Amino acid sequence: MSYKPADNQLMLNREMGLLEFNRRVLAQAEDASNPLLERLKFLCIVSSNLDEFFEVRVAWLKENMRHNPARLLPEGMTPLQAFELVAREAHDLVDRQYDLLLEVMLPALAKEGIHFFRRSVWTDEQREWVRDFFFRELMPILTPIGLDPSHPFPRVLNKSLNFIVELEGNDAFGRSSGIAIVQAPRILPRFVKMPADISGVEHGFVFLSSILHAHVDELFSGMHVLGCYQFRVTRDSDLSVDDDDLKDLRAALKGELSQRSYGDAVRLEVADNCPKHLQHFLRDQFGLQDVDLYRVNGPVNLVRLMQVPDQVDRSDLKFEPFMPGVPAELRKQPDMFAAIRHGDILLHHPYQSFTPVIDLLQQAARDPQVVAIKMTVYRTGTESALMEALCDAAGRGKEVTAVVELMARFDEEANINWAAKLELAGVHVVYGVYGYKTHAKMLLIVRREEGKLRRYAHVGTGNYHPRTTKLYTDFGLMTVNEEIVSDVNDVFMQLTGLGLAGDHHQLWQAPFTLQPNILKYIDKEIVHAKAGRKAVIIAKMNALLEPTVIDKLYQASQAGVTIHLIVRGVCALRPGIPGVSDNIRVRSVVGRLLEHHRVFYFYNGGAEDVYLSSADWMGRNLFRRIEIAFPVLDLKVKRRVIRESLRPGLVDNTQAWEMQSDGRYRRKTSRGGKVRSSQATLLAELTAKPRN
C-alpha cells in the first residue's frame, strides 16, 4: 500500500488531540475513586490547559485563517475547517466541565462542610459580613469605567476578571451611556473565606464576583443598576521577536513581554445570564464571532479554584502524601562525586528525590577541586536552589556558564530575571543559538582529581525546576562515562561558541542527528522483522506529531514490527488501520502525576537499546530546538528504566487509555482481574517508607 505521511486518512489533527487529552484529564475529575479535593484540582487543570490551548493553538489557527487560509494542515484540513471542528469540541468540553462543577463537585464539597455560598442563601449575618468586606477590602481599589466618548472601552488584560454593568439614569454630569466596565483587581483572591462563626461551617467561601454583584450599585451612586455580569477574554500569548536589526534578544523580549497581556482576542467567556445584546456588545469590542463566545454557568475562571485545597485542611480528601526515596548508592555515600565515580546513578522523579541533583551542584560550588560548571536553564522557577548554587560557585572563583533559554513559553520573565542575577554574580550567561530553543537538560562539572581533570554530567528528561520535579515523572542520569561527558561538553561548546556540528560518540542531538537516528533505529527493526526475527519498538513520550517519524512507524508496522507507543498527550498517528498500522498500539496514562519522561526502546536483535531524551517526536523538537537523547549503557540502570517506565504503562488497567483509530480513547479496566496502576506501583516501590 502506498501512501503519503500527510494523507488525511493517516494523520490526526493536533488541536483535536489536545482536546482529547483534556477529556482524559477531566475524567480524573469525574472519577469518584479519586479524593474529592484532588478531583477539584483536575477540574482546574483542564481550565488551565484550555487557557494555554486558546492562547497558543487556537491563536495559531486564527492567524493562519487570516494570513494563510488555503494552507493544508498535515491531516488535510484548512485552518478554517480545523477551527470549526475544534470549536465544537471545545464548547462541548467546557459545558461538560461546568455541569460537573455545579451538579457534582459543589454538592459533594458541601456534604463535606466545604460551602460556596450564593447570594440567594446568605443569612443576614453573612450579608452584613460581605458588606463590610466590600467597603473595607474591595471598594477602595475598584475603578469603574462608564463608557462614553471620553471613556472608550478599556484595555482588558488577558484572562482577567471583569464585569459589564448595565445602568439606567443620569449621573452628576448628566451622562447616561448605559454601560460601565468594572475590572476586578488581580491582587484580590477570586474567592474569600468567611469566618466559621459567620458561615456556620468549617470551610465557607464566597466568590469575589458574588460580593461585587451584591454591592455594584455602590459604585454608581444615584443610578439604577439593571444588571451586572462577569466576563473574561483570552488573548494570543505566543511571543515573537522581529529578526530585523536584532542586537539584544533579552532587551527585545522584555519589550514583547509587556504587550503579551494585550494580544489579539481569541475567546470570550461570559456569564450565561448575560443578556444577548451585552454579549454581542462585548463580542464586537474584541473583534470576535459567536463561535468564540463561551457562555458559562459559574465562575469564568475555574483555574483560581486550584487554591481551594490549600485552604482546606482535610487530608482525607487529598491524595496520601509521599516522601521521595533516595537510591541506595547515595544513602551509603554522601560524597556525590565518589558515588558517581562508583557507577551511573539513575534518579526517577518524583518517586525519587530531586535533592541529589541540588546536592551535586551545591557540593560542586563549595568544592575547591571543582574548576568549572556548565548548565542549561529552560524552566527553573522564580526560586531555585540550583541557580543560587551557580551564583555561589561563581562567587568562589569557579568558571560558571549558564545557557539560559529566554523563549521558554510563559517562563520568559523568570528566566530574564535569573539571567540578570546570574550575570551580577559573575556567571557567564549565554542564550544558546537564536532561532533554536535550548531544551536539552544538561549539567557538566569539571573537577581536578589526581593531577588531571575529570568531568561529571547530569542529563535528564525534565527541567531543573523545584516544583515540577515533585509533580512530573522524569529520569535523570548522573555519569562519568567519558564518551557521554565528552559529548555533553561538545554540545555546550556549540551553544556558547561557533563551529560546525561534529559527530558525537553517544548522544543524538537535534537538530542534527536525533531525527535521523530515530529513523535509522526504526529501520533496524524493519530489517529484523523482514528477516523473521523478533522486532519490537516501545516509545514513551508526551507528544507524537512529526510526519516523517510517523511515516516510518507505519512502514515498520507493515513490515511486522510490534510497536507500543505510550503517548501521554497528543498523537497524530492512527493506530489499528488494517494493512498500515495494525501492529501499532497507542496508550496514554493520565493519573495523579504528569507523565513526562521520554524513553525510546529498540529490541535490536536482543541488544535492547534504550535512550532517554529531552525531546518528544514533534517537528519543533527534532528540527527547531537543541535537544539530546542519551543511551542507557549500564545494564542495571537499563533494566530499571524498562521496569519502571515502559512495562508499567503497558499493563496499566486503571489510569491507561487506549487510542482508537478515529483518535478517540477508551479507558482500560481490570474487568474483575488484578488491578494494575503504574503510578501506584512505583509510589509503593520507590518512595521512602514512612517512619513509625
Residue 238, classed as helix, strand or coil, is: coil
Pairing of strands 265-271, 437-438: unpaired
If one counts every other C-beta atom within 10 angstroms of the C-beta of residue 279, the result is 20
Closest by alpha carbon to 163, among 205, 213, 119? 213
- Residue 568 annotated in ligand binding: yes
Using the structure block, give the residue that is written with the C-alpha cell 507493515. 558
Residue 662, classed as helix, strand or coil, is: coil
- 232 φ, ψ (degrees, to nearest 5): -155, 135
Residue 462, classed as helix, strand or coil, is: coil
> Which of these is catalytic: 439, 465, 564, 597?
439
Residue 690 CA to its chain's centroid (Å): 30
Q: Provide CB contacts within 8 A for 406, sequence distance 6+.
A: 249, 250, 253, 412, 415, 416, 419, 431
Query: How far is the C-alpha of 107 from the C-alpha of 299, rounded, in Å?
Result: 16
Query: How far is the C-alpha of 425 from the C-alpha of 430, rounded, in Å?
Result: 14
Contact 419, 429 (CB under 8 A): yes
If one counts every other C-beta atom within 10 angstroms of the C-beta of residue 233, the result is 22
Q: DSSP per residue over 395-441, as a string?
A: HTT-EEEEEE-TT-TT-HHHHHHHHHHHHHTT-EEE--BTTBEE--E
Could you tell me the CA-to-CA distances from 415 to 84, 381, 410, 569 in Å, in that order?
A: 36, 8, 10, 26
- Residue 472 annotated in ligand binding: yes
Contact 125, 198 (CB under 8 A): yes
- Residue 49 annotated in ligand binding: yes
Query: How far is the C-alpha of 438 from the C-alpha of 621, rounded, in Å?
Result: 10
What sections of 267-380 are H helices per DSSP? 276-285, 308-311, 328-332, 336-342, 355-366
Using DSSP, how many helices (H) and how many strands (E) does the chain show? Answer: 23, 27
Judge if the upstream peptide bond of residue 107 is cis by omega within 30 degrees of 0: no
How buried is 337 (Cβ within 10 angstroms: 0-12 exposed, 13-18 middle, 19+ buried)? Answer: buried
Give yes or no: 280 in active site: no
Closest by alpha carbon to 10, among 582, 539, 581, 660? 581
- CA atoms lying within 13 Å on the CB side of residue 641: 32
Contact 617, 570 (CB under 8 A): no
Using the structure block, give the residue that is written with the C-alpha cell 541540588. 358
Q: DSSP per residue over 166-224, as a string?
A: EEES--TTS----EEEEEPPTTS-SEEEEPHHHHSSSEEEEEHHHHHHHHGGGGSTTSE
Is residue 47 within a helix (H) or strand (E), and if so which, with residue range?
Answer: helix 36-52
- Residue 596 annotated in ligand binding: yes
How many residues can be counted in the chain?
A: 692
Query: How far is the C-alpha of 203 from the C-alpha of 61, rounded, in Å?
Result: 43
Using the structure block, give the residue that is written with the C-alpha cell 443620569. 170
List the binding residues for ATP.
49, 472, 568, 596
Which residues are part of the catalytic machinery?
439
